Amino acid sequence: MQRFIVFEGLDGTGKTTQIKKLAEYLTGRGETVFTDAEPSALPSGKYIRRVLSGEIPSSPWATAALFLADRINQNIDSDNGIKKHLDAGETVILDRYYFSTFAYQGYETDMDWAMDMHYRCPELEKPDLVLFLTMSPEKCIDRITQNRADQPLEIYETTEKLTEISEKFNTVFEKLKDKENIVYIDASGSVDEVHERIVNAVNASNPPKLALFDFDGTVIDNSRGIYNCINYACDKMGVKRPGSDIIRRFVGPPLYDSYKRYIENDHERALYFVDCYRERFAPIGKTEAELYPNIINLLSALKADGYTLAVCSGKPRQFVMDIAKNLGIAKFFSEYYCPSFSDTGLDKGDYIIRAISDFGSRRENTVMIGDTKSDILAAKKAEVKSIGVKYGFAAENELEENGADILCETVSDIFVAVTGKEL
Ligand code: TMP
């Protein structure tokens, strides 16, 4: 998901630890995350480090200008710059940004001058979210001296200086409250407590957009494998194979239900049917699947557009994961909401509700894409937008009659339905 998150706060507030934890959390959610810190690792940043250590004398005005120059370099660097990562659809997390210049140099120069230089510079990306970690200067100095007992302190690392800078930070964020998206995070408490506050702030400020896909008949055309396995199970049980109009109805709903509904209403035999079906499906049937045309383009375009993708299917999770891996699409999906072999799992609507909560998303940011009535009804239960695809296994008018919000004839239409843009 393309977004730019900045951490700010006094030295000793735990930014480094919290950035690492947030990056792990977002990576686990399927985002590609790039983290970096100021001053940069570029020559301009190395020069600043020598100023901060006291090795090279510099006036506060010059220091402010050095930070601006380094910041521009870090934004536009062609190898590893912030813009490059954002353009690639990644989440960038940065340890400090121009707010630090406003606070650290602003208090010895002219804050408005420092702001002007930055806000009038076209080569700086604006952050989507600024997390300001707050803690008393005394506690910060305690932490700095404990954690870095063997290293000399930098020029700003005294209680007096940090107290002044802390006040300056408050002035800076008060001044910018209508211009920037700033969230104050209480940085006292355990690492996990602070992490939780940060995750809540990140999710609240930018809930991920979630696209949930039914699998069979929506992402993959596995009719050949399914039909072959149904016929195999029927032959083995000595019952008549279903005709071509009935067999299509087996795709989507649980097999157990379909057997009882279309073949014979017998609990034990329906369970046995599922076993027979799986006997052929695990070794052979699951390889008889192919992607619908353009699916890879769709999934990668949705990811690039900032969507988190997950599968929501009634098919056993392991089967879905194996097929996704074999067909080269596993990398697009962050999670698989599907039953295990041994239980029937949750109702599809409840899976959608679970996914929204797991990813910290919202109903209005979520869509369910599927080819049958069960997908549309699940979307309705979870109160999310339903996108019905007509190329799958639904009966005539099934999607319309069950109130699909949008209908798609082709895979490319799905991109338009979800994003409003052409694929
Ligand atoms: P850090 O690596 O501990 O965050 O150290 C960076 C130091 O540089 C910290 O003391 C704050 C200071 N600083 C400024 O004075 N102005 C700035 O614009 C930035 C980014 C950092």
Find out whether the beta carbon of 183 lies less than 6 Å from any atom of ligand 1. no
Find out whether the beta carbon of 67 lies less than 6 Å from any atom of ligand 1. yes
Tokens standing for 399? Answer: 């999607």
Distance CA 194, CA 191 (A): 5
Distance CA 378, CA 343 (A): 19
Find out whether the beta carbon of 7 lies less than 6 Å from any atom of ligand 1. no
Ligand 1: centre distance to CA 349 (Å) = 48
Q: What string of DSSP letters covers 183-208? A: EEEE--S-HHHHHHHHHHHHHHHSPP
Find out whether the beta carbon of 142 lies less than 6 Å from any atom of ligand 1. no
Model pLDDT, residue 145? 84
Ligand 1: centre distance to CA 2 (Å) = 25
Q: Which atom of ligand 1 is nearest to the CA of 67?
A: 18
Ligand 1: centre distance to CA 9 (Å) = 10
Find out whether the beta carbon of 169 lies less than 6 Å from any atom of ligand 1. no
The amino acid at residue 61 is W
Find out whether the beta carbon of 154 lies less than 6 Å from any atom of ligand 1. yes
Q: Which atom of ligand 1 is nearest to the CA of 154?
A: 10
Answer yes or no: are the C-beta atoms of 172 and 99 closer than 8 Å: yes
Model pLDDT, residue 390? 97
Ligand 1: centre distance to CA 418 (Å) = 42
Find out whether the beta carbon of 96 lies less than 6 Å from any atom of ligand 1. yes
pLDDT digits (tens, 9 = 90+) for 56-109: 999 999 999 999 999 999 999 999 999 999 988 899 999 999 999 999 998 789
- Summarize the chain as % helix, strand, coil (round to 5): 50, 15, 35
Model pLDDT, residue 361? 86
Residue burial 26-46, b: 16+ Cβ < 10 Å; e: rest: beebbbebbbbbbbbebebbe
Model pLDDT, residue 1? 64
Model pLDDT, residue 154? 74
Q: Which atom of ligand 1 is nearest to the CA of 39?
A: 20
Model pLDDT, residue 248? 86
Model pLDDT, residue 346? 81
Number of Cβ within 10 Å of residue 89's Cβ equals: 16
Mean pLDDT per block of 10 residues along the chain (423 residues) reads 90 94 91 95 97 94 98 97 92 97 91 94 94 94 82 78 91 92 94 96 87 96 94 96 90 88 96 96 91 97 92 93 96 93 82 90 94 96 97 93 97 96 88
Ligand 1 test: best mutation among 52, 118, 148, 158, most atoms within 8 Å of CB?
52
Q: pTM, whole model, 2 decimals?
A: 0.68
Find out whether the beta carbon of 104 lies less than 6 Å from any atom of ligand 1. yes
Return the residue whose CA atom lies nearest to atom 15 of ligand 1.
Answer: 104
Find out whether the beta carbon of 156 lies less than 6 Å from any atom of ligand 1. yes
Q: Say how far residue 105 (Cα) sits from the centre of its chain.
A: 36
